[in-house]
Chains A and B, each alone.
Chain A
């Protein structure tokens, strides 16, 4: 029996600064067999160990279609992420997982897809976006809307170009507060909705971002005609074990680490508390 609490060792191969407080780590499992056999869904997460400090859940930001490595984008918000940010390339960390349910994928074949991301919330969406675009024919129109606090907080800026270049993909970016160089849209992410030409009829919306953003986005999506089942989002909890045991991520009768973190708006509403 595989011990769910037993981490495997992964090596950091590359570190990319996304913003002042976000880094993307490219890693691979030290044991090539484990790396080779790694399968996961977009929206799933790893528990990342810095031995002697602790663990934190981090969603996988690489598409499952990319093999041989995986990437984790981490915002420096606490003890574990702080130490992780200080590690040089070549360092080893512990990895458990993947955990969680992940985004629906096969289930949305043939649909138009709307992605709404805020801040570091783009990290799990990026995995799904790339998986969608790697299998472009299976999906309809793709719209990617992304917002952050300031231009300096935008992550994966280089990739928007590549996404745009794909057929029938549009991207729009906004910031809450611009700077002198910023010429794009200013305002919260929902201000992009009228400009994006969204058709809700055959669409599914994926929403990831800071907890304050999500209710506003959902409200506007409902207005646009999205159904409670076609709005998919994630819940943020401190998932300690990943296995539905430790109790930290419980909400209502759901364990976010096992039953989530991806839920439809309908499911979220039904959860008590």
Chain B
């Protein structure tokens, strides 16, 4: 356990509601709310009533990534008036994400390393990336994270195989775990502690029994997740060593419908396109929009040629990026946190667990072995 502060606190449900009422007045609070039907989506709330309290929710279809890297984001405005004038646009809303799951927090830590500004995270390396992304960093720095530990896996969850959950050990501000109708509160950062001290009347220190209870709850939860797909490491090895035969990607390609959904719902995917939108003859905006390596046009170069025109190459690319050791070294972890969203969203039922399983089962064929020899020769 490497919490920012070792003490465990308890807050009652009523006090939590009261505390949230305070937050709602001072910042944008994003929480799981009911969409249409029984659907849960992450959404800025206007009243505490909106929160889907009794959630047995599996993760919302879109990860909270959208609040840090929206599907469309304005980067700057330009205007021509005897010369161009450019005005950057930043989103400096003060925000809180309430009820974010550990897998999604781990994904944010991944993005922090990639875009820079990962000062919230103790795991993050000290070095900033070469070109820190000020748009992401501003949003991230202004967002307070109240995570919720997971008691109960959703139907597609496999975080335990991916070091993604079901509880966080660090990288949060506060982590809440439902416990006998109240909530155990772990403190993960200085600003988390500040919230506790600033609202001390809402919290009380946990008794030693309650500390033990939390440990028991966490252990129980872990058991419920089981070891559903512990083969990620084998897949990593095979992908890294180029031991996966192309026939596997060809087979998967037959099912892939190029929708890009895998990238869009993945909490660690963050490729984007840059698109200018003129608003008048003399003014307009530059935006960035989500993009996906699943699209052939993603690799279109000047003159029209497409470099990964073959669908199997695009799939291979995606899983190389997620699983190869070369990227693990770069990103300090592999690119999957086990949230299970790709299982929900893929029209062809291609997803991390099924691909990992297919890689594991595939016999190393003559062709793959040959590739390997070739690599060794170099």
Q: How far is the CA of A176 from the CA of B133 in the complex (A)?
A: 45
A18 close to B (CB within 8 Å): no
Set of chain A residues within 8 Å of B272, measured between Cβ atoms: 240-241, 245-247
Shortest beta-carbon distance, B247 to chain A, in Å?
A: 17
Which residue of the partner chain, among A78, A236, A248, contacts B291 with CB atoms under 8 Å? A248
B304 close to A (CB within 8 Å): yes
B275 close to A (CB within 8 Å): yes
Shortest beta-carbon distance, B138 to chain A, in Å?
A: 10
Given A51-B78, A55-B274, A243-B133, A77-B302 contact (CB < 8 Å): yes
A272 close to B (CB within 8 Å): yes
CB pair B273 A273 closer than 8 Å? no
Contact with B along A19-47 (1 / 0, CB 8 A): 00000000000100000000000000000
CB pair B131 A243 closer than 8 Å? yes
A56 close to B (CB within 8 Å): yes
Q: How far is the CA of A96 from the CA of B220 in the complex (A)?
A: 53
A52 close to B (CB within 8 Å): yes
Which residue of the partner chain, among A1, A6, A240, contacts B274 with CB atoms under 8 Å? A240
Contact residues, B120-146 vs A (CB, 8 A): 129-135, 137
CB pair B302 A81 closer than 8 Å? yes
CB pair B276 A52 closer than 8 Å? yes
Contact with B along A242-260 (1 / 0, CB 8 A): 1111111010110000100
B313 close to A (CB within 8 Å): yes
Which residue of the partner chain, among B129, B313, B317, B324, contacts A244 with CB atoms under 8 Å? B129
CB pair A246 B274 closer than 8 Å? yes
Q: Which residue of A lies closest to B324 (CB)?
A: A253
CB pair A237 B307 closer than 8 Å? yes
CB pair A243 B299 closer than 8 Å? no
Which residue of the partner chain, among B115, B317, B330, contacts A245 with CB atoms under 8 Å? B115
A137 close to B (CB within 8 Å): no
Contact residues, A211-265 vs B (CB, 8 A): 211, 236-238, 240-248, 250, 252-253, 258
CB pair A7 B378 closer than 8 Å? no
CB pair A92 B317 closer than 8 Å? no
Shortest beta-carbon distance, A82 to chain B, in Å?
A: 11
CB pair A241 B86 closer than 8 Å? no
Q: How far is the CA of A253 from the CA of B331 in the complex (A)?
A: 11
A87 close to B (CB within 8 Å): no
Given A52-B276, A81-B302, A250-B76 contact (CB < 8 Å): no
B301 close to A (CB within 8 Å): yes
Contact residues, B303-335 vs A (CB, 8 A): 303-305, 307-308, 313, 316-317, 320-321, 324, 326-327, 330
Q: How far is the CA of A1 from the CA of B141 in the complex (A)?
A: 14
Q: How far is the CA of A81 from the CA of B330 in the complex (A)?
A: 34
CB pair A272 B303 closer than 8 Å? no
Q: Which residue of A lies closest to B80 (CB)?
A: A51
B83 close to A (CB within 8 Å): yes
Q: How far is the CA of A77 from the CA of B131 in the complex (A)?
A: 29
CB pair A51 B276 closer than 8 Å? yes
Which residue of the partner chain, among B80, B132, B271, B326, contacts A247 with CB atoms under 8 Å? B271
Set of chain B residues within 8 Å of A30, measured between Cβ atoms: 83
Which residue of the partner chain, among A5, A51, A77, A248, contacts B75 with CB atoms under 8 Å? A5
CB pair A94 B301 closer than 8 Å? no
CB pair B131 A4 closer than 8 Å? yes
CB pair B378 A270 closer than 8 Å? yes
Q: Which residue of A lies closest to B305 (CB)?
A: A211
Which residue of the partner chain, among A49, A51, A244, A269, contacts B130 with CB atoms under 8 Å? A244
Q: How far is the CA of A159 from the CA of B284 in the complex (A)?
A: 40
CB pair A269 B274 closer than 8 Å? no
CB pair B132 A6 closer than 8 Å? no
Set of chain A residues within 8 Å of B317, measured between Cβ atoms: 250, 273
Shortest beta-carbon distance, B6 to chain A, in Å?
A: 34
Set of chain A residues within 8 Å of B150, measured between Cβ atoms: none
B298 close to A (CB within 8 Å): yes
Can you list 26 pairs linking A and B with CB atoms under 8 Å apart?
Answer: A3-B135, A4-B131, A5-B133, A5-B134, A30-B83, A51-B276, A51-B284, A51-B286, A53-B276, A54-B275, A56-B302, A81-B302, A92-B83, A94-B86, A241-B274, A245-B133, A245-B270, A246-B272, A246-B288, A246-B291, A248-B273, A252-B320, A252-B326, A258-B130, A258-B131, A273-B313
A-B pairs with the 10 shortest C-beta distances? A247-B271, A243-B131, A253-B326, A52-B278, A4-B131, A77-B303, A51-B78, A77-B302, A3-B134, A238-B301
Q: Can you name 11 extra interface pairs (CB under 8 A) apart from A78-B304, A94-B86?
A: A1-B134, A5-B76, A51-B276, A53-B276, A243-B130, A244-B130, A245-B114, A246-B288, A247-B272, A252-B326, A273-B316
